[in-house]
Amino acid sequence: MSALAVESDENTTATVSAVPAPEGVREGAFGSAVALACRECGHRTALGPFYACPECFGPLEVAYEFGDVTREQIEAGPRNIWRYKALLPVPTDIESSPNTEPGFTRLLEAHNLGAELGLSKLWVKDDSTNPTNSFKDRVVACALSAARELDAKVFACPSTGNLANAVAAAGARAGIKTVVFIPSNLEKPKQVNSAVYTDSLVAVEGNYDDVNKLASEIAGEEEGWAFVNVNVRPYYAEGSKTLGYEIAEQLGWRLPDQIVIPVASGSQLTKVHKAFQELIELGLVEDKPYKVFGAQATGCSPVSTAYKAGTDAIRPVRPDTIAKSLAIGNPADGIYVLDICRGTGGAVEDVDDAQVRQGILTLARTEGIFTETAGGTTVAVLRKLVETGQLDPEAETVIINTGMGLKTLDAIADEVGAAATIKPSYAAFVGTGLSEQ
Ligand SMILES: *Cc1c(COP(=O)(O)O)cnc(C)c1O
Ligand SMILES: [Zn+2]
């Protein structure tokens, strides 16, 4: 068994042994993917359970040799992420293996929210309707395929909540044992949303960065464990590309002018950009400039802080925010988020917890979408970007709602409630003043 000294998600050095050797990998297991390529030095590694470059320890990313892919082929596919299977590291017969079949969520034209914030053309990509109510079902579906092809015995993850829900559910449906690790102070609904699917939910007394460190250690000790965001991270991360593909397809095969995406590890943002670039390269959309914006909560804003300071050095922080799904103090892809946002002419911005709560309410009351704290962060950042002139209110804009408000009820419970509590009589109702509205 080979053991790789690697940098984990949170830059802690750990020894992570490979899950089963790549020799056993079946032909076509990863579709049109041909290698894992280092994002830092370009060194190529065989497709396998690897995530750190053997030359420089940089992060590995899936590299492809795409054949001809047409709009018609994609449109003829299923109404889930597998319609893009030719662009993902999954086998061509992926639909035959049970998975949660996430994706193809609605892209809503948000007239009311646009009017409220002063934007003339705004869309909300609503990923709260995925099988476990967050965009994490997309990444987990790809990680599950990789875990299967690599013959993993256990499907596992360290999580800020939504990932644990998605892993536990997908593992149940696939009939593979799951073990999920979360910070013990996580919102109760997110704990229950994992525990219903698995009897192996582990609450760790520490923050996400502690949980992640522990997961890297376990991955190094236990053979055959596929940690979705640790040792199969390159495959997992590709799942976020489907958000970019869907937005382009649902806009009628074109790219928006601006997009606002919440940032935790930063993986999602980098992959939506990768998806747009691939669509341009494949000739599936017209080449055009677009700006990418990142959204963070001030209580955990290492990327936004580095952006504003004009530096590449991302200083890890100890998270303190109600936006727990974004509370990664040492983001693995933060540096790439900075590159993309700066390179496209976008920005990274942050908002405080009061603004996050206000963002949740604004989206609910303008569009009838109940988002979680991550979505509240994105809406509030959108408002701030408009108000500070960083985002063009006339240009076509998309924001991504990545999760569901029922999972973070506590964040908003004190802000809303019954307008009045009355006896069941008409006189009592009139007494509230509500009958005159
Ligand atoms: C995980 C998560 C994110 C951020 O994802 P990264 O790829 O780690 O940046 C955003 N929103 C929600 C709801 C999440 O669960
Ligand atoms: Zn390298």
- Taking only the tens place, the pLDDT of each residue in 26-63 is 889 999 999 999 999 999 999 988 999 999 999 999 99
Q: Which residues contact 413 (CB under 8 A, 6 or more apart)?
A: none
Q: Is 130 in the pocket of ligand 1 (CB under 6 A)?
A: no
Q: Is 138 in the pocket of ligand 1 (CB under 6 A)?
A: no
Say which ligand is closest to the CA of 407: 1
Q: Are 84 and 242 in contact (CB under 8 A)?
A: yes
pLDDT band at 12 (very low <50, low <70, confident <90, very high): very low
Residue nearest to atom 11 of ligand 1 (CA): 402
Q: What pLDDT is stored for residue 49 in this prediction?
A: 87
Q: What pLDDT is stored for residue 160 in this prediction?
A: 87
Q: Is 376 in the pocket of ligand 1 (CB under 6 A)?
A: no
CA of 376 to the centre of ligand 1 (A): 13
Element holding 297 (H helix, E strand): strand 291-297
Which of 246, 314, 291 lies closest to 81, judged by CA?
A: 246
Evaluate if residue 386 carries a pLDDT over 90. Answer: yes
Q: What pLDDT is stored for residue 13 in this prediction?
A: 32
Q: Is 265 in the pocket of ligand 1 (CB under 6 A)?
A: yes
- Write down the residue that tokens 């020799």 correspond to: 23
How large is the average pLDDT for residues 319-345?
96
Work out the burial of residue 388: count CB atoms within 10 Å of its CB; fewer than 13 is exposed, 13-18 middle, 19 or more buried. exposed
Structure tokens at 86: 């030719």
DSSP-assigned states of every residue in 178-209? EEEEEETTS-HHHHHHHHTT-S-EEEESS-HH
How large is the average pLDDT for residues 88-102?
95
Evaluate if residue 3 carries a pLDDT over 70. Answer: no
Evaluate if residue 146 carries a pLDDT over 50. Answer: yes
CA of 43 to the centre of ligand 2 (A): 5
pLDDT band at 437 (very low <50, low <70, confident <90, very high): low
Beta strands 201-204; 177-183: pairing state: parallel
Q: Which residues surround ligand 2, an ion (CB under 5 A)?
A: 38, 40-41, 43, 53, 55-56, 58
Evaluate if residue 11 carries a pLDDT over 80. Answer: no
Domains parsed from the chain with CATH numbers: 107-133+238-415 (3.40.50.1100), 134-236 (3.40.50.1100)
Q: What pLDDT is stored for residue 22 in this prediction?
A: 60
Which of 136, 124, 221, 215 lies closest to 170, judged by CA?
A: 136
- Taking only the tens place, the pLDDT of each residue in 220-262 is 999 899 999 999 999 999 999 999 999 999 999 999 999 999 9
CA of 420 to the centre of ligand 1 (A): 37
Q: Are 219 and 5 in contact (CB under 8 A)?
A: no
d(CA 271, CA 292): 11
Evaluate if residue 376 carries a pLDDT over 90. Answer: yes
pLDDT band at 4 (very low <50, low <70, confident <90, very high): very low
d(CA 339, CA 137): 26
CA of 47 to the centre of ligand 2 (A): 15
Mean pLDDT of the chain: 93
- Taking only the tens place, the pLDDT of each residue in 259-313 is 999 999 999 999 999 999 999 999 999 999 999 999 999 999 999 999 999 999 9
How large is the average pLDDT for residues 139-164?
95
How large is the average pLDDT for residues 64-72?
95
Residue nearest to atom 5 of ligand 1 (CA): 264
DSSP state of 323: -
Which of 179, 108, 181, 171 lies closest to 137, judged by CA?
A: 171
Q: Is 296 in the pocket of ligand 1 (CB under 6 A)?
A: no
Determine the straight-line distance between the first and last CA of the chain, rounded to whole angstroms. 72
Q: Is 366 in the pocket of ligand 1 (CB under 6 A)?
A: no
